[in-house]
Amino acid sequence: MPGEKAVETTGGAAAEKAPEQQSGSGSAADGATPAKKAAARKPPVKRSPAKGTAAGEAPAKKASARKAPAKKAPAKKASAERVAAGKAATAAKAVVRKAESRTALVRRARRIDRELAEIYPYAHPELDFVDPFQLIVATVLSAQTTDLRVNQTTPGLFAKYPTPEDLAAADPEEVEEILRPTGFFRAKTKSVIGLSKALVEEFGGEVPGRLEDLVKLPGVGRKTAFVVLGNAFGRPGITVDTHFQRLVRRWQWTEQTEPDKIEAEIATLFPKSEWTMLSHHVIFHGRRICHARKPACGACPLAPLCPAYGEGETDPEKAKKLLKYEKGGFPGQRLNPPQSYLDAGGRPAPPLGAG
C-alpha cells in the first residue's frame, strides 16, 4: 500500500505514527501525508545514541577521536616505573649503609687506607717548600688552582721575597704580577702580604705551630693549618680538600658535607698518628684515579672494596686513558719532589712556561 511504503522509509518517528494512521478516518493515502509531516518535524532523533542508528553513532566517533591521546599513557607509566625503580635502588643503598656496623665501617676504612699505602708508598705534600713559611704561603696560593701551577709560580716569588719581612714590605702591584698565573691574584696578594705582616708583628716572623694561632692568620683556615702542622711540624691533621671530601663520601665513610664535620667524623675512624698520611693517600688517589667527573673505575686497585664502583668508566682499556700524573705516565706536580717519588718512577713537573 502507498501508506505502508511511506512508513518504512521515514525512520523511527514515522513508524510510531502508523497505528494512528490505520485507526483514523480517511484512506491510507490520506494518512501518508501527516506521517511525512511528523517525520519532518522530528529530525532531533539524531541526538539519541541509544538506538544505535547511524545518526547516533556520530557522537561516539567524536568521543573516540577526543580520547586518542590516551595512547600516551604507557610512556608515562614506563617513566613512573623508572622513577620508582630509581627510588627503590636508592632506598636499597640506604639500607646497606645503615646495616653496616660501626666495627665493620672502621675495619673497611682502615683496609682501604692500607691498600692506598701500598698503591702510593711515595705519597707526599704536592707543594714545593723548604720551610714552614714557604709552605703556608704556597698553601694559601693553591686555592682555586692546581699545586702544579703554584709550584711553577712560587720560585719567582720566594726568590724576590724570601722571608716574611720581605713579603710584608712588598709592593702589592709587583706581587700581583708574579701571582697572576695562579688566578684570583689580587685577593691572593692581599692574603700573603697580610699573612706576612701578621707573622712579623705577632709571631716574630715565625710561623706558629699551633692550630689556634694559625687559623687567625689572613687566608688561613683549618685545611691550610693542618697542611702546615702535618707537613712542616709533624703534628697530625686531616686535610679536607675537595678530593678528600669526594672520596670519603664515595667510600661511605661519612655522609657529612661540611668540611669541619667530615674532619671530625673521619678522625674517629683512624688513630691520630695516621691522619697526615691518610690525607696524602686519599688526595693522591683522588687526583690520579678517582676523579670527580670520570673516575677510572676499570683501572682502580680499590675496585673490590669500593661501594661506588661503576660510577666511572669500567672498561679497563678506556679507564687507563683517564689516569693522571705518574699513573698515566705523565709528570707530577712538584718541580722538586721527594727522592722516594722519583725512585718510584715519578717525574718532576716542568717549570713555568715550559712546554
CA-CA-CA-CA torsion sign (208, 213, 216, 220): positive
H or E element, residue 95? helix 73-99
Nearest to 265 by CA among 249, 276, 280: 249
Q: Are 259 and 245 in contact (CB under 8 A)?
A: yes
241 noted as active-site residue:
yes
In the block, residue with C-alpha cell 670527580: 292
What does residue 310 show for φ and ψ, rounded to 5 degrees?
Answer: 105, -10
**Which among 241, 260, 315, 343 is annotated as catalytic?**
241
Q: Are 276 and 237 in contact (CB under 8 A)?
A: yes
Amino acid sitting at position 149: R
**Which among 223, 315, 320, 324 is annotated as catalytic?**
223
Q: Kindly list the distances between the CA atom of residue 57 and the CA atoms of 39, 48, 65, 183, in Å, as whole numbers in the listed order.
A: 20, 9, 13, 76
Distance from C-alpha of 202 to C-alpha of 127, rounded to nearest angstrom:
26
76 noted as active-site residue:
no
Cα-based torsion angle of the residue sequence 299, 301, 307, 312 in order, rounded to the nearest 10 degrees: -10
Q: What share of the chain is helix, strand, coil (3-state, %, to 5)?
A: 65, 0, 35
Residues annotated as part of the active site: 223, 241
